[in-house]
């Protein structure tokens, strides 16, 4: 993302309301949105930041979905996580991003300069605590992701579906991402993901009315499918 982007503002008057809705009240990072960040739209597939760029901002998904990823030396892509409305991403230890970030579908993103956070946290020390707890939650996510990657294909897909079901609204899961994204998140091939979904359907654990829409018929069975 170019620095110039920060001079942009968007004409979408609904974004502030959207932010409040997506984030709830108990989030000091958004107490004064105009002060701390700007809302920006990203198109499906558009890059939000690239690996090893300077990490000058953190981001919050207001609408849509985002993926972070690394490209390995052999060209394979490993997706580190999916971020849905309400989620923060771009939290980094170093001064540079360790992954790239892209919009999975059209998305509205709240962009917050780290410097603004540093300044604001002098006024309100709770902001630091909030950042810390967000980072610790992200740490938990990363650890769970690592745990996923040592399980069988069935378990990985089942865990993925359960995770998505818990993070998305509604009881039928509407996946924002394609099979390739799922495969790259789970460390499997697209064929294995497809086969495994079919298989879970045959077991009556799930139902697949269309490729992006999945109904969890028997979540307990899914949770039990541990290798």
Partner DNA sequence: CGGCGCCTTGAACCAAGTCAAGCTCTGTGG
Partner DNA sequence: CCACAGAGCTTGACTTGGTTCAAGGCGCCG
73, 166, 202, 210: which one binds its own copies (CB under 8 A): 73
Shortest distance, position 170 Cβ to DNA, whole Å: 18
5, 10, 35, 150: which one binds its own copies (CB under 8 A): 150
Shortest distance, position 106 Cβ to its own copies, whole Å: 27
Nearer to its own copies, 142 or 208 (CB): 142
Shortest distance, position 180 Cβ to DNA, whole Å: 6
Shortest distance, position 56 Cβ to its own copies, whole Å: 15
71 binds its own copies (CB under 8 A): no
190, 179 Cβ separation under 8 angstroms = yes
Nearer to its own copies, 106 or 121 (CB): 121
DSSP state of 99: S
Q: Residue 21: CA atoms inside 13 Å, Cβ hemisphere, count?
A: 8
Nearer to its own copies, 132 or 208 (CB): 132
Gap between the Cα atoms of 181 and 189, Å rounded: 10
Classify each residue of 12-24 as buried b or exposed e, where b means 16 or more C-beta atoms within 10 Å of its C-beta. eeebeebbeebbe
Shortest distance, position 140 Cβ to its own copies, whole Å: 5
For the chain, counts of helices (H) and of strands (E) = 8, 11
Tokens linked to 134: 């967000």
Classify each residue of 152-172 as buried b or exposed e, where b means 16 or more C-beta atoms within 10 Å of its C-beta. ebbbbbbbbbbbbbeebeeee
**Interface residues for its own copies in 173-212 (CB under 8 A)?**
187
Nearer to its own copies, 63 or 222 (CB): 222
Shortest distance, position 36 Cβ to its own copies, whole Å: 17
Tokens linked to 69: 């990823």
Nearer to its own copies, 60 or 145 (CB): 145
Query: DSSP E strands: which ranges in the chain?
Result: 37-42, 47-49, 57-63, 66-71, 77-83, 88-89, 100-103, 107-113, 172-174, 206-210, 213-216
Nearer to DNA, 118 or 223 (CB): 223
Site residues, its own copies (CB under 8 A) = 70, 72-74, 76, 78, 80, 91-94, 98-99, 125, 128-129, 131-133, 135-140, 142-143, 145-147, 149-151, 187, 226-227
């Amino acid at each position: 993302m170019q620095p110039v982007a920060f001079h942009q503002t968007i004409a979408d008057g609904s974004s502030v309301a959207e932010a409040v809705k997506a984030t709830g009240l108990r989030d000091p990072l958004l107490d004064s949105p105009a002060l701390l960040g700007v809302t920006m739209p990203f198109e499906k597939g558009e890059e939000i930041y690239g690996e090893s760029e300077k990490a000058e901002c953190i981001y919050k998904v207001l609408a849509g979905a985002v993926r972070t990823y690394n490209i390995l030396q052999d060209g394979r892509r490993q997706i580190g996580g999916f971020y849905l409305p309400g989620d923060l991403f771009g939290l980094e230890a170093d001064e540079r991003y360790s992954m790239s970030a892209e919009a999975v579908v059209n998305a509205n993103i709240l962009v917050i300069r780290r410097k603004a956070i540093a300044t604001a946290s002098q006024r309100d020390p709770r902001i630091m605590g909030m950042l810390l707890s967000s980072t610790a939650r992200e740490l938990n996510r990363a650890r769970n992701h690592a745990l996923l990657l040592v399980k069988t294909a069935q378990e990985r897909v089942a865990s993925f579906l359960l995770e998505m079901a818990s993070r998305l609204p509604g009881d039928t899961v509407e996946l924002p991402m394609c099979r390739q994204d799922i495969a790259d998140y789970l460390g499997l091939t697209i064929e294995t993901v497809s086969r495994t979904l079919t298989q879970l359907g045959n077991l009556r654990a799930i139902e697949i009315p269309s490729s992006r829409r999945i109904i969890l018929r028997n979540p307990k069975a899914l949770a039990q499918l541990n290798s």
